[in-house]
Amino acid sequence: MKHEHDDYQLLHEFYKSACSKLTEGSWDYLRGAAETETTFKRNRAAIEAIAFRPRVLRDVEDVDASATLVGQPLRIPVITSPIGSLQDFDAEAGAAVARACTRFGTMNMQSLVSEPGLEATAAASDGPKLFQLYVRGDETWVDDHARRAIDAGYKGFCVTVDLDYYAKRERDIAKRYVTTARKTSFSHEHHQKRFNWSDVARLKNNFDVPLIIKGIATAEDARLCVEHGVDVVFVSNHGGRQLDQGRGGLDVLPEVVDAVRGKAEVMIDGGFLRGTDVVKAMALGANAVGMGRMYGFALAAGGEDGVVRMLEILEQEIISCLGLLGVKSFAELDASYLYPNAPLMAPAGYDSVFPLLKEGY
């Protein structure tokens, strides 16, 4: 039976629909970044500056786009990255995303500051999930959330470490917009500023759950993650929403992969919006890619069904890209299929990702 959300055939249609459905403040919060938004632009520029080197005359009739992360099978190597205040985009918030990821066959990472909360999101579907924490309390508070996540069945516990200070997000400030999470959940931020490597060691030593550290932007900190037994090193600059004037995420990825040397899995997010983006990250050694804004657009556009449809379209793009590169799986892919420093065809941003928007489609 045809569903109304089958009408979405292109990823940019979610962007356009979300823009029409959200309030101006919520829309700018979702698509915006910090200060000059340079880090977000560099995220896109880093992705778009890599061209492909395809191989031909290979049997690519059956392409397998699956992967694994923390021992969990993924239909495609994409997880939905944590977004605060999902309830500002859709009333079902994290529960809708959890159900969509389970229906499709991947994992969501539930944010501490998105409804309906840790336990209710875990109960929303029976698929594997990850939980993400901002540090808003002392050691007892952090440990309590780790225990609760384990008891609720989450397959990984993630701590975000690049939010010691909340960045100047000028789109929000100019409109005097405050998300629901910042109205209710962002007290006691001094605990985040105090969180350090000794806390990482405590979590790793005291809890039997894969530990993910999100916000790694250098080889030096990637090596420290490995020294502290971190299971997943999550390369992230918060989608350009924290430190302005940072490097693009995909520019950081190779040095982190080299520093980790297979002793931990590596994830990345930051500006990933298309299937080709995902393939580039995997070719550079990522185990999985986090997408935030893209599923945010889909959630705002069509709720749970919108997120499922977005993942289906993304899968189509990934499979097509792999086949056109001449490989049947990510196991056959490496950096030899990439050409760095290709000329950019347009200023990197949403218009370069979704060029039909400028033509009114």
Beta pairing, strands 78-80 & 288-291 = parallel
CA–CA distance from 234 to each of 43, 219, 222, 287, 327 (Å)?
15, 12, 9, 10, 26
Retrieve residue 30's tokens: 């979702």
Could you list the beta-strand ranges (E) of 165-246: 211-216, 232-235
Retrieve residue 352's tokens: 């370069």
145 is catalytic: no
Helix (H) or strand (E) run with residue 190 in it: helix 190-194
Question: What residues contact 20, with CB distance under 8 A and at least 6 apart?
Answer: none
Question: Which residue is it, tokens 């050691």?
Answer: 139
Instruction: Specify whether the CB–CB gap between 86 and 111 falls below 8 A.
Output: yes
Q: What angle do CA 104, 319, 62 make, to 5 degrees?
A: 100
Per DSSP, 269 falls in state: -
Rg (CA), the chain: 19
| CA 15, 18, 24, 28 torsion-angle sign | negative
So which residues are the catalytic ones? 238
